[in-house]
Amino acid sequence: MNLLSIDPAAIDWARAQFALTAIYHWLFVPLTLGVGLIMAIMESNYYRTGDPFWRSTAQFWQRLFGINFAMGVATGIILEFEFGTNWSNYSWLVGDIFGAPLAIEGIVAFFMESTFVAVMYFGWDKVSRGFHLASTWLTWIGATISAWWILVANSWMQYPVGCEFNPDTMRNEMTSFLDVALSPFAIDKFCHTVISSWVVGAVFVVAVSSWYLLKRREAERKLALKSLCIGAIVGLIASLGAAITGDESAYKVAEVQPMKLAAMEALYNGGTDQSLTAVAWVNPFRQPDYQNEAEAPLRLAIPNGLSILATRSLHGYVPGVNDLLKGYTREDGTQEYSAQEKMIRGRKAIEALAAYRKAKAEGADEATLSPLLSTLKENFPYFGYGYIKDEAELVPFIPVNFWAFRIMVGLGTLFILFFAYILFLQWHKKDVSSMKWLLWLAIALLPCAYICSESGWLVAEFGRQPWTIQDMLPVSASVSDIGSSAVATTFWLFLLLFTAMLCVEINIMLKQIKKGPAL
């Protein structure tokens, strides 16, 4: 591919447009997964007790779920179309692999959701209570399965496995569907992402319940107190689960994306017995001078914490930014090449591929083609580095990764304490409705839940730059050969459209909340 033919501005606009769509889409997805779980629990209580209160409570949360669900579907469809319009080179190279989980998501999960969501909304008193309960759970399970296949596709970009490059078709072809679908990276990412979505749903339910208690709406008092309790239980379990799965995800990142971990920690020079940074001063607006700074200033750290996190060893070796650029020796004695060496090997792979295709087109024999294929195969693990012009491109923007990671972890810790305190009060039969400061805090934490969730995605996506596919394909080689003006125009159109959709959803949500349940 000739990168000189690509408008550099088109790369920035394509990235901006995809980021815009993904950020808006992720405002709807976690609430769908989180509220979906809680509404299913509510209806399970109705099925168990037969109490009409639980039926009306389940119906209330189902209405809010449905509003949010519709918006999520609309933004998700646009997101998938952008792969073809703005990232056609990426789609051509890996469409055989990346397209499989997306196709399954669309055919199986989406149809499963759309089928059972109709029964859930219109099947009251038309089907048995058991079948209706099953439909509610299957609606939530369908949404979760949908998230699974999307996260499988995203995880493959972070850790490409189960594939082999075919020089004759110029495409990566899947060699093992199970390796792609059940990669350890995908499993960890799915667990962490979905469980953290339950936190968002729990905070939302607790916040709405707190609003009813603050307004002293007696008709909704029982719903608010019961929902607040269930939301806090789900929230505490999910917050603890997110912490556990987050730890495992960080371990996998250290294994397959060490530069991302170094950026998250602002670790410039690695080594053994590495401490885990609690806080440090990293200027949020500029890339630090990692080549000349020993570490970020004003650093407070937990001794040996990073070695434990990254290697599960108290004295484990963790490479820093400079180690990854200059090359280092792993603990098992193997040598990690320097960035310059990887770039040289990547160019060898690109040159060997071009020579192979030219020779084959000219009808060369096996004796001529075989050495070219051997050179390509030997150097293909560094293929993407051949498109890198400066090793500085391999270092993601450290401030975004550093601060987004700390915002995510800090807010996650706050949620654990918040939900635990609510359940502590419930256990001791304290009147939560009289604690106005706690109810206002619950409402204030709602935007914090979204900030926490989006921060996790910022770490995941900014941390793997400059790669679209880790080590295989940089962003600069992934975009479509289109003019920047076309992408810029659609960026502003999408910004207006998504903002309008978000305003409409918030307006409808607030009207439904003010209206309250039909008790």
Verify that 121 and 240 share a domain, yes or no: yes
d(CA 268, CA 292): 9
Judge contact between 182 and 148, C-beta under 8 A: no
Verify that 344 and 329 share a domain, yes or no: no
In the chain, the amino acid numbered 427 is W
For β-strands 467-469 and 335-336, DSSP reports them as unpaired
Verify that 164 and 118 share a domain, yes or no: yes
Whether residue 491 is contained in a domain is answered as yes
Verify that 298 and 361 share a domain, yes or no: no
Verify that 302 and 356 share a domain, yes or no: no
* Mean predicted confidence (pLDDT) in 409-422: 96
SS3 300: strand
Verify that 78 and 206 share a domain, yes or no: yes
Whether residue 519 is contained in a domain is answered as no
Whether residue 276 is contained in a domain is answered as yes
Strand positions, DSSP E, 303-455 = 328-329, 335-336
Whether residue 505 is contained in a domain is answered as yes
* Mean predicted confidence (pLDDT) in 281-305: 90
* Mean predicted confidence (pLDDT) in 77-105: 83
Question: Residue 446 — φ and ψ, nearest 5°?
Answer: -60, -50
Answer yes or no: is pLDDT of 414 > 90: yes
Write down the pLDDT at residue 79.
Answer: 78
How many CB atoms are located within 10 Å of the residue 257 CB?
22
Least confident of 112-126, 132-146, 235-249, 463-477: 112-126
Verify that 63 and 179 share a domain, yes or no: yes
Secondary structure (H, E, C), 140-207: HHHHHHHHHHHHHHHHHHHCCCCEEEECCCCEEEECCHHHHHCCHHHHHHHHHHHHHHHHHHHHHHHH
Token pair for 85: 């319009």
Token pair for 467: 């790669």
- Among 387, 411, 427, give the residue marking a domain's end: 387
Write down the pLDDT at residue 296.
Answer: 87
Verify that 90 and 234 share a domain, yes or no: yes
* Mean predicted confidence (pLDDT) in 301-306: 92
Closest CA to 200 of 431, 419, 504: 419
Verify that 477 and 376 share a domain, yes or no: no
In the chain, the amino acid numbered 344 is I
d(CA 116, CA 507): 26
Verify that 119 and 211 share a domain, yes or no: yes
Q: Could you tell me the sign of the dihedral formed by the alpha carbons of 196, 199, 201, 204, in that order? A: negative
CA 311 to chain centre: 23
Q: Is 125 left (phi over 0), alpha (psi -120 to 50) or beta?
A: left
Whether residue 162 is contained in a domain is answered as yes
d(CA 198, CA 460): 19
Write down the pLDDT at residue 193.
Answer: 94
The more confident residue out of 44 and 1 is 44
- Among 312, 336, 360, give the residue marking a domain's end: 336
Domain that holds residue 70: 3-257+396-514
Verify that 372 and 437 share a domain, yes or no: no
**Percent of all residues in the chain with a pLDDT value above 70, rounded to a whole number:** 98
In the chain, the number of structural domains is 3
Verify that 303 and 355 share a domain, yes or no: no
Could you identify the residue written with the tokens 């990566």? 172
- Among 336, 355, 373, give the residue marking a domain's end: 336
Answer yes or no: is pLDDT of 1 > 60: no
Whether residue 268 is contained in a domain is answered as yes
* Mean predicted confidence (pLDDT) in 48-69: 91
Whether residue 14 is contained in a domain is answered as yes
